[in-house]
Each structure stands twice: as C-alpha cells, then as structure tokens.
Amino acid sequence: MTLTYETVDVFTDTPFGGNPLAVVFGAEALSTEAMQAIATEFNYSETTFVLPPKDPANTAQVRIFTPTREVPFAGHPNVGTATVLAWRGEAFGKPVTESVRFEEGAGLVPIAILSQDGRPVGAQLTAPQAFRRLDPVPVEDVAACIGLDVSAIRTDRHAPVGGTVGLEFILVELADRAALEAARQVRAEFEARLAGRPVYDIHCYVRAEPGDSVDIRTRMFAPLDNVEEDPATGSANGALMGLLADLEGAADGGIVWRIAQGVEMGRPSLLLGEVDRVGGETTAIRVGGRCVAMFTGEIAQP
C-alpha cells in the first residue's frame, strides 16, 4: 500500500511560516495505530487523514493526530485540509468549490473556502461546539509550567481557566508583552502539575498595545503532546474568543479579531477570528486564515 501526502503551512502567506500540517490520502485500510505511527513520524503538531464520509452529504471524515494522540477537533488541521482539498478541486468524486463539511470526533465542522482572484488561498472554519468554560487551574501551577512568576499572570479579569469549542485548553492572560515573550514550557512542571488533569495544554495571551497591528498576541505550549510550542492554534484561539466575548458581555452583532501567534518561535502566524452574538449569547465562532502549499510525496511503509 502506498499513501500520498501533501504538507501545507497554515495561517500564513509565507513559506516556512505559520503552522505546518501533513494531509494524508488513501488511508482507508489503516488502523488507528498505523495512523498514529505516521503522525509521530511526521512530528508536526498535527497530521490529518482524509477518509470517505460516513454521510454522503458531507465532504469527508477527517481524523486528526498529534505526535502522541488522536484529538476530536483542531483548528489549523481543518483550515489546512480544507485548503488542500480546494486546490485539488474534488474529494471522493465530488467537487470542492466554496465550502466543505468534515465529520470529526467533536462533531460536524463546516468550513468556507477563502479565494482570491478565483484561486483558493485559505479557509475559515466554524467551531463544532459552543464555547464552554471549564474548571479553573491554580495560578501557581500555570506560572511554574510556563516559567514565569505568579505576578506575570493577570487574574483581575479571569483566573487561569479551562475552555473549549471542541478541544480543551487552559486559557491564561499575561501581564504584558514582556511576560509573553519570556514564557517558556517547563516540561517537568507540566508532568508534575498537569499530567493528571483532563486539560493540560496552556494557551496564554496578551491584548494589543497601542500601535499594534493585531488585537491579541498568543502562545500555546503542549509538551505533554510532544509539542513544545505550537505556531498557530485555531481551536485554542476559538476558545479564547468565546471566553473574551462572554467576559466582556459583547453586544449583539459581530466581533472581529486579528490574532498573532508563533512570532517568538520564528514562525509568525495570523489568525482571523469572528464571533457572532445574538441575545447576549455567542452563536458562532469562526477562525480562518491563508495557507501555503509546501511538499508532496508518498508514504511507502504505512
């Protein structure tokens, strides 16, 4: 059996920026263990496997693996996989033009294709689940895990707290840009303090400073998934937008955020986020961005 793959840099328009993703085709006969082995071999933050949909009304079933586990949903794998299918122009005999729908563990993920001059350049997903706030996490544990003093973590607007729109993260506001730049993952502290918790990836952020070109700057650390730092995390930023919209009691209508991630690790990413509010509630969370095609090849030993 020979499988094919394409890799794409997601949330960027510049090669070797953004978050790399491997998209694997022809894996219908593979076991879960074989898919995990391939994802571990790629060693990207995620690898996707595009399979025939269970419901023919949908585009594909997409399975997503980190180097250590399968996850029910993630942001950049959806944006990248949808863009690759748009470049191909079809999936399982059906044309791919303006949108796709992916079957995933967290639910059905609708994705709009972004085009420029008639050519697909990226995609925008709608989160498969409404935002849910999960349990708080002790500030001392978070500070130790990201190598900062407790004073570098803001708690006046919210304490470190779990949040999800399909995949769980600990959401942490930092005091300023200097704290964000100084943050680092301390694996021993993650293992000692978070390994036993259901949520153990830390997504930290700061709000824009005057003159900034974006609204939010973020970093995401997931050493327990063998991802020391992720250059762009659509699912985490989707949860963050849900939290911010709820905290700020945003009025009805739409909210738009430009989010920078990956800058400190040399893979700058730009995520474009949108939140819809109706009747004081968030009704939809969308995350999108551009993609760059990188490599194609075959997997000879599945």
Marked catalytic residue, from 28, 33, 41, 46: 46
298 is annotated as an active-site residue = no
Q: What angle do CA 7, 216, 79 make, to 5 degrees?
A: 25
At 193 the three-state DSSP class reads helix
DSSP 106-144: TEEEEEEEEEETTEEEEEEEE-SS--EEEEE--HHHHHH
Helix, strand, or coil (residue 53): coil
SS3 content of the chain, % helix, strand, coil (to 5): 20, 40, 35
- 221 touches 145 (CB < 8 A): yes
Q: Which two tokens stand for residue 46?
A: 């995620």
Pairing of strands 47-51, 19-25: parallel
Question: How many residues belong to the chain?
Answer: 302
Q: Which residues contact 121 (CB under 8 A, 6 or more apart)?
A: 13, 83, 114, 115, 290, 291
Cα–Cα distance measured from residue 293 to residue 11, given in angstroms and rounded to the nearest whole number: 12
Closest C-alpha among 113, 106, 202, 104 to residue 160: 202
The amino acid present at 65, given as its one-letter code, is: F
Residue 189 CB: number of other CB atoms within 10 A? 17
Q: Return the active site residues.
A: 46
